[in-house]
Amino acid sequence: MKQALMQAAKLALELEKKGYALYVKTAQETDNSLVKSIFEGLAKRELEHMKRINVLYAAASKEKIDFEKIQAVSIAVGEKQILSLILERHKERLQEKPQAKISAAYQIAMQLEKDSYNYYKKLAGQFSEKVIQIFFDLLAREENAHYAILQEALVYLDKPKQWFWAKEDWIIENE
């Protein structure tokens, strides 16, 4: 179990590093302030995941696995908290359209989040220790939240009037 957990942590760390690199690169390459905020926020979350996974790896590499340390880093952040803060700051930029390159980056990012979610769900079912299951299930839920943020932000960028109408019951004239 110990070796399998350490290997799972190594692979998970690689996934998070890929996500971080993509998010930082996209944030640096865009002039759209909303896109920049979203990708910078997701990059920070990936760094947080890497810290947690490093704790998991360190705890798993001890002679006796330190389950308390693993449990201590299993704390979730909700997607609605992250997304609402980002979108609220950028309401005035309704007409700003994402560039085709940015839309492609969103699609790649969404696939990466989906792949990470599937991997973490698989790992949650692979280990019998409850703390390990909770750890990977939490990461899976956060990756799912990241996917939802990306998906919702893309709708917001591509069709802002539709987004406001659906989410906030706004009445928008002259569509």
Q: What's the CATH code of the domain at 48?
A: 1.20.1200.10
- The answer to whether residue 175 sits within a structural domain is no
d(CA 163, CA 33): 18
Containing structural domain, residue 101:
2-168
- The answer to whether residue 164 sits within a structural domain is yes
Q: Which of 5-9, 52-56, 76-80 has the lowest mean pLDDT?
A: 76-80
Q: What is the domain count for the chain?
A: 1
- The answer to whether residue 132 sits within a structural domain is yes
- The answer to whether residue 82 sits within a structural domain is yes
- The answer to whether residue 35 sits within a structural domain is yes
- The answer to whether residue 173 sits within a structural domain is no
Q: How confident is the model at residue 136 (pLDDT cuts 50, 70, 90)?
A: very high
- The answer to whether residue 18 sits within a structural domain is yes
Q: Which of 6-10, 96-100, 166-170 has the lowest mean pLDDT?
A: 96-100
- Kindly tell me if the per-residue pLDDT of 128 is higher than 60: yes
Q: Which of 98, 75, 76, 89 is nearest to 144 (CA)?
A: 76
Q: What's the pLDDT at 35?
A: 84
- The answer to whether residue 137 sits within a structural domain is yes
